[in-house]
Amino acid sequence: MRLLGAWVSGFGRSCAVAAVCLAVPGVWAAAVAWGIWWGATNPWSWSAPVLLVVAGTIGLARPVCQAARRLVARWSGTTIPGGYRRAVPVTRLSTGYWWNGFSYERTRRDALMDQRWRLRWRDPANLRDLRFVAVAPLTAGLVAALPPGGLAVAVLGSASAQTSVRVAGAVGALVLLAAAPWAWRLLEPVAVRFLRPSPAMALADRVEELTVQRADVTVAQAAEIRRIERDLHDGAQARLVALGLSLATAQRLMDRDPEAARALMREAQAGATASLAELRELIRGISPPVLSERGLLDAVRALALDSPLEVSVRAEGALELDAPIESALYFAVAELLTNAAKHARATHARITIRRDATALRVEVEDDGRGGAAVRSGGGLDGLRRRLAVFDGTMEVTSPPGGPTVAIMMVPCESW
């Protein structure tokens, strides 16, 4: 059964790789067929197929590359950075003009439109994507097409009475059986070789990322300080002030109205208990005690027990992490479980923590309705930025209808 499952899985993955890598050649073939069909009646028939080839290649290059990265990340755990230029916030200046990182515009709408077009068409990553869609069909796409091609030949051979065709069908069946478990594996080395950012792109991205991280850390620290001050002022501080007033009043009433004094003492005791609970909750929000005392794995297991979902936790390898990294991963897992219960309406979740020689991988999967995306300024984007402080990455796969899979990777060479 295990071999059958591996064969079926390999065949499905090979079909997916073939569909991704051969999407652009499929457009080329459609353009050639259109030109042949139209050329019989129109001498200008070459123009439309050429436009279709150019538009299809440019339009499909980035989606094909992004799909290849997602497949590699999901199947092998290898995260290939996109290396695309990111949009900076559009800012209004004192002169009334809007700055989008490239030019000044009169309105915010014009600034956003100009920024979007510049990022899309002047990104150096476009040439890298075009190179991949030219190389992938002849390497990973060609190999991945062997299992579905073998299946087609085997079906045609079984339906024919000619000996030569039946022999070809038998050969196709052998190719199908032999290649299905392995044909998809060529995608990873090809994608890593041709889709990784160039050194110049990686350096520019790193400088930009560090600039954004510095701003994020400053804003996050200020917001956290304000939150702690607000929680102390509105919660524990107010209760402690009321506790002091109750004790002072009880002291004055002790001689002339002992019963009222004892009632105030009981209220003061309840107030002290509530204040202690609020302070513990505040400390838990800053750094959960179980995280500092027992480490990430036990903290995640405690989180799973408190979650309204049915959560299973599995860990592989020793986990000896620095406290800031443990905290970032813990709160990331907590937010993903909260999103799964609150927004995705999930009932089950699975957390897998695995460490190898180069990185720690934390995978959170739920059976919710899907549709989650990393949008600029959203909660998932905040998680990604927090992990980026430690050179970590987060990839989210969430098709409509689910499941949602979030994969967080943090390098561990220096631990």
- Compute the CA torsion angle 144, 62, 25, 186 (nearest 10 deg): -20
Which pairing describes strands 310-316 and 348-355: parallel, antiparallel, or unpaired? parallel
Q: CA separation (Å) from 81 to 66, 89, 202, 377? A: 10, 22, 9, 19
Instruction: State the Cα–Cα distance between residues 387 and 240, nearest whole angstrom.
Output: 38
Q: Which of 337, 354, 355 is nearest to 346 (CA)?
A: 337
Cα dihedral across residues 11, 12, 18, 21: positive or negative: negative
State residue 181's pLDDT score.
86
Q: Which of 81, 80, 106, 74 is nearest to 93 (CA)?
A: 106
Give the chain's count of helices (H) and strands (E): 16, 8
> If you write DSSP's letter for every residue of 81-145 in order, what string do you get?
---PPPPPPPEE-TTS-EE-SS-EESSHHHHHHHHHHHHHHS-THHHHHHHHHHHGGGTHHHHHT
Q: Phi then psi for 406, rounded to 5 degrees? A: -115, 125
State residue 64's pLDDT score.
92
Instruction: State the Cα–Cα distance between residues 351 and 402, nearest whole angstrom.
Output: 16
State residue 46's pLDDT score.
66
Q: Which of 405, 20, 26, 363 is nearest to 187 (CA)?
A: 20
Q: Which of 186, 149, 206, 180 is nearest to 72 (CA)?
A: 186
pLDDT tens column, 114-142: 888 887 787 888 888 899 999 999 999 98
The label of the residue with tokens 């002169």 reads: 95
Q: Which of 346, 362, 383 is nearest to 314 (CA)?
A: 362
Q: CB–CB of 173/166 below 8 Å?
A: no
Instruction: State the Cα–Cα distance between residues 100 and 88, nearest whole angstrom.
Output: 7
Q: CA separation (Å) from 378 to 132, 368, 381? A: 31, 19, 5
Tokens of 227: 């939150």
Q: Which residues of the chain have pLDDT under 70?
A: 1-3, 38-46, 48, 94, 198, 200-202, 204-243, 245-247, 250, 253, 264, 271, 274-289, 317-319, 376-377, 413-415
Q: Residue 31: CB partners within 8 Å, gap ≥ 6?
A: 49, 50, 52, 53, 56
The residue type at 70: R
